[in-house]
Amino acid sequence: MTSLFVIDNNKDCLYVICNNSWDELITIVKEIHDNPTICKTVVLDTADWSETLCTNAVCEKYRKNNIEDFGYGKGYVYLVDEYAKLLSLLDQLIEVGINVVITAHAKPRKFELPEEQGAFDRYEMKLSKQVAPLLKEWSDALFFVNYKIYVVTTENNSKKAQGGKRVLYTN
């Protein structure tokens, strides 16, 4: 589910659900731009769901069943072009003084350094390999929220990982 949060000047929150289409999401952003006093901050929740809407719109526009039907990587070129339009509109919101925050879900991915032995998991945005770098480059700041994990000793002297407080990571 993609939603667009609009927080107005009085700290009241207007919550607009945008589950239907990419065009609806674009229209909402344009309406906010045309009425910049409606809010101080826009939060797009989430980038990965908005990418799904964008993918569906691209497939519908070119009459394809899925993004892979375009041929080797060609569908992703259209996807990046279309998603860049959203980021351009969000830039226009910033120009009129509206703060923009975009959230994204995370997913673990196996990562292996060539000069090291072994692999490890690292988190990345749950976006396609083409849209993720676009969003990273567009962002002024990129943060990661996770639970701080503690190792505790149980009654029978075994070790166990336990989640605790949420922590905001900046690198």
Q: Is residue 68 part of a domain?
A: yes
- pLDDT, one tens digit per residue, over 12-54 is 556 666 677 999 999 999 999 998 888 888 888 889 999 999 9
Distance CA 56, CA 87 (A): 18
- pLDDT, one tens digit per residue, over 128-166 is 999 999 999 999 998 988 888 888 888 888 888 777 788
Q: Is residue 25 part of a domain?
A: yes
Q: Which residues of 128-154 are buried (b: 16+ CB within 10 A; e: fewer)?
A: bebbbebbeebeeeeeeeeeeeeeeee
What is the pLDDT, as a whole number, of residue 126?
92
Distance CA 74, CA 129 (A): 13
Provide the token pair at 72.
């080797």
Round the average pLDDT of the chain to a whole number and report it: 85
Task: Find the domain containing 129 and state its range.
Answer: 3-140
pTM: 0.81
Q: How many domains does the chain have?
A: 1
Q: Is residue 149 part of a domain?
A: no
Q: Is residue 101 part of a domain?
A: yes
Q: Is residue 7 part of a domain?
A: yes
Question: With contact defined as beta carbons under 8 Å apart, do 87 and 138 qualify?
Answer: yes
What are the distances in angstroms from CA 159 to CA 121, 148, 149?
21, 16, 12
Q: Is residue 171 part of a domain?
A: no
Q: Is residue 17 part of a domain?
A: yes
